[in-house]
Amino acid sequence: MFLKHKLKSILPLLENFKVASQSLKINKLRATLTVLIIAFGIMALVGILTAIEAIRSSLNSNFSSLGANSFRITNWSFKNTRGNNNRIEYKNISFKEAQIFKERYSFPSVVSISIICSQQAVVKYKNKKSNPNISVLGIDENYFTVSGYEIEQGRNFLFQEIIKGSNSVIIGKEIQNTLFASHENPIGKKILIGNSRYIIIGILKSKGTSFGSNNDKICFIPVQNARLFSSNLSFTINVMPAKPEKLDEAVSEAEGFFRIIRKLDTTKPSNFEISKSDSLVNMLMENIKYVTIAATLIGIITLIGASIGLMNIMLVSVTERTREIGTRKAMGAKPSQIQQQFLIETIYIGQLGGIFGILLGVITGNIIALLIDGPFVIPWFWIITGVILCFLVSVFSGYIPAKKAAKLDPIEALRYE
């Protein structure tokens, strides 16, 4: 008996699904346009948010190359919070200042000195040469400990090589692929960087590209050797505390000690910048949060417009199908079944539009991510949210037309022309 009762309740629902499907097939153009209205609304929401998720993921992975739980002392600042009257003139960090800090900084840490020598260098090997877009950095023996780079083949610089400024170099994967044949071992080979000759002692693991910059197009040379590139260069001090939980304490002590090195009066502000490895990414994440809110609002407004369009089309559909509704009622269809039929049609259209919109949104968002060298992202949260939103929009848009259809008088409906 229970099974029989269940079948009786399911059969009208299945019949309504059949009627809804037939109605959509008959009115293909209208159904297609309605599906597209919903699809574009969902595409706007999912597409923008997929791109933002890709950007966020890219930021997290790319800025991890600065080294986890570390900080840097530089001669510039990302912050722009000071007025013109209080503008600070940041002073270049000399090699002597960096060396004193490295030797005398007492907080338990690994300290490294580095410098950007060039970002447009040309690297040559025999008759092969790279494009003029190679970055050249001068580093010491501790740099790879505090950065995200790893050596895949060969070795790191020896302390003696750093002190003497030997003509040794560690190259990125892209340079190896450009200058050397697939089975040729670059270790021990001599290359030209600019007009200087260097011996390759190591090859880095590939890091790929990020934000249009190829992290594998890079050369590392001893910091003493890098000083030959120019006399007006500013060094960067990289610090990784032995205990990550004491990072803030290490930063405070580093600032105080470097102020002493620079002989700054207590009344004067610091003319250098200390930035933690996650400070820039956190600042960018904070800005992305507002972009996400704005994108969500844009997507929701688009969906509201889509729901109004869907409701209008369903109201027109009810008017056009007045005789059909009267016929169904005359044949014994209950008002609840008529209401259910139009709700099913609306939900059917909404979910079709949602599926197309989600697919288009994910594709569009990842195309944007690809253009900025971001990772491929499938935003499951926003996909599920999109499906739920489509259902809610469909129910909201279909309720009034369905209610109107259910209330039609069968006699008047049959007389309708």
Burial code (b: 16+ CB inside 10 Å, e: under 16) for 197-207 equals: ebebbbbbeeb
Residue 72 or residue 286, greater confidence: 72
Tell me what the mean pLDDT of segment 360-380 comes to.
Answer: 78
| Strand-strand pairing, 190-193 and 196-204 | antiparallel
Tell me what the mean pLDDT of segment 188-198 comes to.
Answer: 91
CA dihedral angle for residue 110, residue 253, residue 62, residue 176, rounded to 10 degrees: -30
Residue 241 or residue 15, greater confidence: 241
Q: Mean pLDDT over all residues of the chain?
A: 79
Q: How does residue 142 score in pLDDT terms, banded at 50, 70 and 90? A: very high
Q: How does pLDDT run across 258-292, given as a tens digit for each residue?
A: 999 999 988 888 889 888 876 656 666 666 777 77
Model pLDDT, residue 83:
45
By CB atoms closer than 10 A (0-12, 13-18, 19+), residue 294 is exposed
Model pLDDT, residue 118:
87
pLDDT of residue 59 exceeding 70, the answer is no
Q: Which residues contact 343 (CB under 8 A, 6 or more apart)?
A: 394, 395, 398, 399, 402
Q: How does pLDDT run across 145-170, given as a tens digit for each residue?
A: 888 788 999 999 999 999 888 999 99
Range among 82-91, 216-225, 310-319 with highest mean pLDDT value:
216-225
Model pLDDT, residue 85:
46
Range among 75-89, 254-268, 325-339, 376-390 with highest mean pLDDT value:
254-268
Model pLDDT, residue 252:
93
Domain residue extents for the chain: 12-62+283-415, 71-276
Model pLDDT, residue 294:
78
Count of CB atoms within 10 A of residue 386's CB?
25
Show the tokens assigned to 315.
Answer: 């109201």
Q: pTM for this structure? A: 0.58
By CB atoms closer than 10 A (0-12, 13-18, 19+), residue 388 is exposed
Burial code (b: 16+ CB inside 10 Å, e: under 16) for 331-354 equals: eebebebbbbbbbbbbbbbbbbbb
pLDDT of residue 17 exceeding 50, the answer is yes
Q: How does pLDDT run across 100-123, given as a tens digit for each residue?
A: 999 999 999 999 999 998 888 999
pLDDT of residue 84 exceeding 70, the answer is no
Q: How does residue 143 score in pLDDT terms, banded at 50, 70 and 90? A: very high
pLDDT of residue 7 exceeding 50, the answer is no
Q: How does pLDDT run across 196-218, given as a tens digit for each residue?
A: 899 999 999 987 665 456 678 99
Which of these, 213, 265, 411, 391, lies nearest to 330 by C-alpha position? 411
Q: How does residue 380 score in pLDDT terms, banded at 50, 70 and 90? A: confident
Model pLDDT, residue 345:
77
Q: Could you give the count of Cα atoms lying within 13 Å of 127 in the half-sphere of its Cβ?
A: 0
The vertex-325 CA angle with 321 and 327, nearest 5°, equals 115
Percent of the chain with pLDDT over 90: 26
Q: Which of 18-22, 52-56, 336-340 has the lowest mean pLDDT?
A: 18-22
Q: How does residue 176 score in pLDDT terms, banded at 50, 70 and 90? A: very high
